[in-house]
Amino acid sequence: MTTSTLTPLLSTKDVASLLGLKTNTVERLRCQGHDLPRHVKLPSGAIRYDPKDVQDWLDKNKHKTAASQLAAA
């Protein structure tokens, strides 16, 4: 049996800081159903984010610049 270590979850404040947004903006966008990283609602009601989900969301939402598209051609 392998032992796994849990990665500490990020708070909404942490995610807002990473995205360059205000905490209340992230909360509002989440409540309105906008595309944001997946979140977990804990029994206490606190919202937390898995860092891997945040990174996956960032990777999925990267936009290619015209220069990078020309370089790949």
Domains delineated in the chain:
10-59 (1.10.10.10)
For residues 66 and 71, what is the distance between their CA atoms, to the nearest angstrom? 9
Reported pTM: 0.77
15 contacts 54 by C-beta, under 8 angstroms: yes
Question: What pLDDT digit, counting tens, does each position of 25-70 carry?
Answer: 999 999 999 999 999 999 999 999 999 999 999 999 887 666 555 5
φ and ψ of 23, to 5 deg:
-55, -45
Dihedral angle computed from the Cα positions of residues 23, 27, 33 and 38, in that order, rounded to the nearest 10 degrees:
70
Task: Give the pLDDT of residue 2.
Answer: 58
As a whole number, mean pLDDT of residues 2-23 equals 89
Element (H, E) at 23: helix 23-31
